[in-house]
Structure 1
């Protein structure tokens, strides 16, 4: 009987730890939708983008060479989440670790990102700040 109680308590602890981890990785509705952003003053080259973040925690981002977003450069897809005030994004095809940004929701349509940590594959490792503007 005692072994059965220990087993049941162990299972409950394992399950509660799993549910805590699930809650820690949030997909915030403020980040869901289509956003435009850009960083024209980046020291390793200006860039602009359109990112579509889905509710289930996936994204597709297209990068452009111009602010009008007419000169397509490349795209990537990956996963995103928010945890403890930080936004994480990883494109598993290219990255081992996620890029990490501190975030501040400025309004219903604007989110400010400040770079914090980069995957080792990043071409540009300069710290920078940008604002994504919700368009849809």
Structure 2
């Protein structure tokens, strides 16, 4: 009986400790393992009326990211690459951009294994809309 209780307790501990998917990285910050990988997304008219943004985001398990995106405005396109660090805290996603020195903050929701919804809380570029949101899809 005592052995069964011990096995049950260990199993319960293993399940609950893995359930939140958070991993502490070398910086001391935490990442959500479900966000690691290569993701794609797009948005239309949210940042600038008449503009489309398409991106590929690679979030690494060491808390770094590489963001490649293309903007298309009136048939003209530009491509950009950004690097930085990402982490999560209290249900929010933080994205520090090396080039600007700014950190964007989003509320995030993992919809399933292949989709994450982001809603901006603090973003350091002007937007055409009050509530900038998008969905990243796993590639």
The normalised TM-score by structure 1 is: 0.70
User: After the TM superposition, which segments of 4 or more aligned residues of structure 1 sit over 6 Å from their partners?
Assistant: none
For residue 41 of structure 1, report the CA deviation from its aligned partner.
3.1
Aligned to 1:124: 127
C-alpha distance in 2, partners of 1:27/1:86?
A: 10
Alpha-carbon displacement from aligned partner over 1:9-60 (angstroms, at most 9, x marks no partner): xxxxxxxxxxxxx898311111100000111131513211000000000000
Structure 2, unmatched stretches of 5+, are 1-25
Is residue 101–residue 114 contact of structure 1 (8 Å, CA) maintained in 2? yes
How many residue pairs match? The answer is: 108
Tell me, in whole angstroms, the C-alpha distance in 2 between the residues paired with 1:76 and 1:25. Answer: 21
> Runs of 5+ in structure 1 lacking a partner?
1-21
SS at match of 1:124: coil
1:55-134 to structure 2, matched below 5 A, reads 55-65=61-71, 73-95=79-101, 97-119=102-124, 122-124=125-127, 126=129, 127-134=131-138
Q: Say if 1:35 and 1:108 are closer, same or farther in 2 by CA, change over 3 A.
A: same
Q: Which has the higher strand share?
A: 2
Cα distance in 2 between the residues matched to 1:89 and 1:125: 20
Give me the TM-score of the superposition, normalised by structure 2.
Answer: 0.69
CA distance in 2, matches of 1:117, 1:86: 11
Contact 2:57–2:68 (8 Å) recurs in 1: yes
SS of equivalent residue, structure 2 residue 30: coil
State the partner residue of 1:18.
none
Q: Once superposed, what is the RMSD of the aligned Cα atoms?
A: 2.3
